[in-house]
Structure 1
Amino acid sequence: MAMNWPQLLSRKRLGSDDEPSETTARTDYQRDLDRIVFSSAFRRMQDKTQIFPLSKIDYVRTRLTHSLESSSVGRSLGTLVGEQIITRHGLASAEASDFGDICAAACLAHDIGNPPFGHSGEDAIRLWAETGDYGKGRVGVLHGSQREDFLNFEGNAQGFRVLSRLQNRDNPGGLQLTSATLAAFSKYPRESCIGKGRFDGVSAKKPGFTAADRELFETVVENTGLIRRDPILAIWHRHPLAFLVEAADDICYRVIDIEDGYRLGHLTFDEALGLFLQVLSEPERQEKRLRGISGNKEKIEFLRAKVINQAIGQSMSCFLDSEDDILAGRFDQPLLSVIPKREEMNQLIEVAAEKIYNAPEVIEIEVAGFQVISELLERFIQVVDDVAEHGPQASSRSQMMILLVPDQFIGPDRKPAEDAYTRLLRLTDFVGGMTDSYAVSLYKKVTGISLPGG
């Protein structure tokens, strides 16, 4: 049993019964890309951490910049692969650009579910669910995937939730993206509770959707023909293009974090130069080209482009060489772990972890982010629970504070849900969707550190 490309390229839109568009002016996959670009969740990524939280330097990349760059790489990867796949399989109804547009759209959205303060924000939500004075008790009464959705909170699962439910929330299926784009977006096609160590491979490493969104994900699976890995548990093999989306992300943060580290003074010019040159297959040729470039900044930019281009070519070759195994679900590792220059590319991460990710200004803000996120969750879940359980008899403080929470994160008619899982889910939707700056601002207000107009 193997997946097949015609079904994998499904243009069926989640939540819509409309037939796929027949216009050639703008394809269904291009419409996906446009819907993501114009969504409010996408715009908020301009104030969400990539590496350096709340940076005052306008050069530093944010989640938005990183997503745009990943999308550019993803489009190149997808288009190059698409040209070969179409020739191999005689896909008369597909264009190479379709593959590129699917990957570009999925890459644009790949970080759209990340909470404030980057990956430390995910850790903060998990820690609160496990150890929070009030949160621990609320999460502790849940079971299975409902419980693990919080103990193992994951930005990728939240991203699927944003795309399929939270954006355009009055529409069934949210943004109503094509099933192909949603499946390519889903690097981890599994629920949160599957048993530790039971399934191997990179696609089983993290959850990709919440228990509340399982039915939506199963619709995507049905439309695209993903292969199921267990008869009971909700876990499938990846959509092949998800490997390209992952590779585009991996290429960008490995390479560009080194460039950012140099620009901010965490790496010397010689360090950045050496790291990039050792990745390239013909470093002597590039050194000759560098002699014609006057500025050090421009030299690093030139090499960054060369490294990215080479990584794209090697990732494409590895994907095409492994296509049969990918379609059969036998290949399940990041493409960058099998490219010829994998060790040199991995060294970029190792150096970044040592000299950039642990820089004092990064750690200081991330530590503060733990406090901000946990305090917001702890305070607001008590407020929502109080109103849910006591209605008009809830404390005046709760009735006042709940006004700070938008309607969509409370429930119809601003009545909190009766079950604890839904209340917790809406709360993490609320806090997880905040920008870094808004989270800090709201934290200061609810704790009395800063008063409006003060």
Structure 2
Amino acid sequence: MQWDKLLNCDRLNEAPKPFDEARNPFSIDFDRIIFSDSFRRLDRKTQVHPMRSNDNVHSRLPHSLEVSCVGRSLGTLVGARIEKLPEHMNPDRIGQIVQAACLAHDIGNPPFGHMGETIISEWFTTNGTKYFESLSESQKTDFTAFEGNAQALRIMTRLAMYKNDGGLRPTYAVIAAMMKYPWVKYNDDLKKYCAFRSESRILEDIAQKTGLAGEDGVYSRHPLAYLSEAADDICYSIIDLEDAYEMGILRYEEVKNLMNGICGAAEEKLSGKTPKEAIAYLRAIAINKCVGAVVDEFFENYGAIMDGSLGKYNLPENSVFAEPIKRIKDLSSEVIYQNSRKLMLEVGAYNVMSILLETFCEAVYDHVSEGKSKDRTNHIIKIMGDSAPAESEGMYEALHKVTDYISGMTDNYATEMARQISGI
């Protein structure tokens, strides 16, 4: 892979334009994402803790903003060490590419975060037979293995702004840097992927225009996608600890000891600080040290990254801080993600999402497959508004419009709509 193609600043579904030095295309990508409805709604979508009552605890929106900041630092530092960049490129612009990619990385997440993905997948696995009669086996997996990363690609390239005509029309460099899993789901063991079958041609176009290694819907990662993944990994690993302290799940000493694994002993720097101030200080030091370690790890593996042979390699987990990061992730899995309040709300999320999926799938089935015009069906189709399928569309497209509609909801909106539909 070559940087002159990897950093392609042309846009999806637009004719190439001269590079604008005053307002470069990557800053435009960032602005388009910031001003999109899908990004704005992340403020009411779960990061880790559903329906949070403490406003200091992260939702998907501040998480995405923080990841974009770390991504910008990673991209700029990596750009400064690349020997020869193409024309119009400099380290700051590499940083802007990664910043925009990171900003959009969670834009396809459904209500209730990763639990929402699981609920959608399980619901279709259990209840999909009736709706899947006309679908191919590969099309079914778009729903039985629903993936927020693939929904993000769908939003960025189809649903937002220029609907069905390029979406936000991002630059090829930014959308490729966002794709941590640049393939369609090609076997049952594959959990993560970035493109539904409906966007397989878009994926192929992105791969071709950026020169990604691979073929037939399975491609190597864009080098900057390793940095997008690393920025996300750094932020959630470290900041989940801060949120856990804020919610009373972890004690100050537990958080401090875990962060000290990255920061080193910093007792003298914490003198006079409250526990909350001390954790914020340690968080800043830990992120800064992880950024430096990830940049070093990137260049340790530079050859394999550039020839596409490195595969699914997590830079932070293989850096000099691999052990403390593993300790943090292990504790998060065992304690933070098993918090009783979180688990109870996730049980409630099953009920909310199941009500919505049953209601809207049944309505579009009647509308598209049966050609019925029951009052209830008509009401539900009207509720969907511009998101509703046309009667002439097939069930595959209709079901995608259901998941587009439901996955675009916030936690609060989904909960309230399920309550109203249930007549409670």
Which of the five TM-score ranges fits, normalised by the shorter chain? over 0.9
User: Equivalent residue for 2:104?
Assistant: 109
Structure-1 separation of matches of 2:392 and 2:71: 40
User: Could you say if the C-alpha distance between residues 136 and 127 of structure 1 is closer, same or farther in structure 2, counting changes exceeding 3 Å?
Assistant: farther
Q: Could you tell me how far 1:90 is from its partner in structure 2?
A: 5.2
How far apart in 2 are the matches of 1:169 and 1:115?
21
Equivalent residue runs for 1:269-280 within 5 Å: 269-280=252-263
Tell whether 2:30 aligns with 1:33. Answer: yes
Q: 1:357 to 1:152 in 2, by over 3 A?
A: same
Q: Which residue of 1 aligns with 2:212?
A: 226
**2-structure distance, mates of 1:45, 1:262:** 23
Pairwise CA distance, 1:138: 1.5
For residues 300-311 of structure 1, the aligned pairs below 5 Å read 300-311=279-290
In 2, distance between residues paired with 1:205 and 1:335? 20
Partners of 1:327 and 1:219 in 2: CA distance: 19
* Shift of residue 318, structure 1, vs aligned partner: 0.5
The letter of the residue matching 1:340 is: V
Give deviations 1:71-95, integer Å, cap 9, x for gaps.
000000000000111xx23545311
* Equivalent residue in structure 2 for 1:254, among 205, 229, 237: 237
Q: Any conservation in 1 of the 2:356–2:418 contact (CA below 8 Å)?
A: yes
2:14 — aligned with what?
16
State the partner residue of 2:169.
176
CA contact (8 A) 1:140 1:147 kept: no
Tell me the amino acid that sits aligned with residue 212 of structure 2.
L
Going from structure 1 to structure 2, the CA distance change for 1:446 and 1:77 (only over 3 Å counts) comes to same
Q: Does 1:338 align with 2:318?
A: yes
Structure-1-length-normalised TM-score: 0.90
Q: Is the 8 A contact 1:67 1:107 kept in 2?
A: yes
CA–CA distance in structure 2, aligned partners of residues 399 and 143 of structure 1 = 28
CA contact (8 A) 1:113 1:158 kept: yes
- Give the corresponding residue for 2:225: 242
Residue of 163, 180, 199 corresponding to 2:156: 163
Q: Distance in 2 between matches of 1:242 and 1:398?
A: 43
Matched, 1:439 2:414: yes
1:22-61 matches, within 5 Å, as 22-61=19-58
Q: Is the contact made by 2:145 and 2:191 (CA closer than 8 Å) also made in structure 1? A: no
User: For residues 37 and 318 of structure 1, do their structure 2 counterparts lie closer, same or farther at Cα, with a shift above 3 Å needed?
Assistant: same
Superposed counterparts of 1:79-118, under 5 Å: 79-85=76-82, 88-89=83-84, 91-118=86-113
Structure-2 residue corresponding to 1:154? 147
1:210 to 2:212 alignment: no
Alignment of 1:116-135 (within 5 A): 116-132=111-127, 135=128
Query: 4+ residue stretches of structure 1 with deviation over 3 A?
Result: 90-93
CA distance in 2, matches of 1:69, 1:90: 27
Question: Given that residues 76 and 100 in structure 1 are in contact (C-alpha distance below 8 angstroms), is that contact kept between their aligned partners in structure 2?
Answer: yes
Q: TM-score, normalised by structure 2?
A: 0.96
Which secondary structure does the structure 2 equivalent of 1:405 belong to? helix
How many aligned residue pairs are there? 423
Match of 1:369 in 2: 349
- Cα distance in 2, alignment partners of residues 259 and 73 from structure 1: 17
Which structure 2 segments of 5+ residues have no match? none
Secondary structure, aligned partner of 1:138: coil
Q: What does the per-residue CA deviation read over 1:290-320, in whole Å, with 9 as the maximum and x for residues that have no partner?
A: 12x3211111110011110010000000001
Give me the whole-angstrom Cα distance separating, in 2, the residues matched to 1:221 and 1:390: 39
Q: Cα 1:151–1:45, aligned 2, differ >3 Å: closer, same or farther? A: same
Deviations 1:129-164 (A, max 9, x none): 1012xx333136522321111111100000000110
The SS at the match of 1:55 is coil
The answer to whether the 8 A contact 1:78-1:100 is kept is: yes
| Worse-superposed segment, 367-376 or 306-315 | 367-376
Alignment partner of 1:186 is 2:179: yes
Q: Distance in 2 between the 1:356 and 1:417 partners? A: 47
Q: CA deviation at 1:104?
A: 0.5
Q: Secondary structure at the match of 2:212?
A: coil
Specify the alignment match of 2:338 in structure 1: 358
- SS at 1:399 equivalent: helix
The whole-number CA distance in structure 2 between the counterparts of 1:79 and 1:351 is 32
Alpha-carbon distance, 1:214 to partner: 1.1
Shift of 1:66: 0.3
Letter in 2 for 1:363: L
Mapped to 1, the partners of 2:290 and 2:163 lie a distance apart of 41
> 2:368 touches 2:394 (CA, 8 Å); kept in 1?
no
Q: Which residue of 2 aligns with 1:195?
A: 187
Closer/same/farther in 2, CA of residues 364 and 136 from structure 1, 3 Å limit: farther
Distance change (3 Å), C-alpha of 1:417 and 1:374: farther
Cα distance, 1:260 vs structure 2:
0.6
Indicate whether 1:410 and 2:403 are aligned: no
Q: What letter matches 2:33 in structure 1?
A: I
Q: Deviations over 1:158-195 (max 9, x none)?
A: 00001101101436211010000000001111112x12
Deviations 1:368-405 (A, max 9, x none): 111111221111111111122444x4212211222111
Q: Distance in 2 between matches of 1:277 and 1:91?
A: 40
1:196: Cα distance to partner?
A: 4.1
Q: Any stretches of 5+ residues in structure 1 without a counterpart?
A: 198-203, 450-454
Deviation, 1:221, is 1.0
CA contact (8 A) 2:131 2:365 kept: no
After TM superposition, the structure 1 = structure 2 runs for residues 383-398 of structure 1, keeping only pairs within 5 Å, are 383-391=363-371, 393-398=372-377
Percent identity, aligned pairs only, is 39
The Cα RMSD (Å) is 1.5
Secondary structure of the residue aligned to 1:345 is helix
Q: Is 1:410–1:416's contact at 8 Å kept on the other side of the alignment? A: no
Residue identity opposite 1:180 in structure 2: A
Q: Given the superposition, is the C-alpha separation of residues 102 and 220 from structure 1 closer, same or farther in structure 2, using an over 3 Å criterion?
A: same
Q: 1:201: which partner in 2? A: none
Q: 1:381 to 1:119 in 2, by over 3 A?
A: same
> Following the alignment from structure 2 to structure 1, what is the Cα–Cα distance between the partners of residues 139 and 178?
22
Given that 1:114 and 1:156 are in contact with CA atoms closer than 8 Å, whether structure 2 keeps it comes out as yes
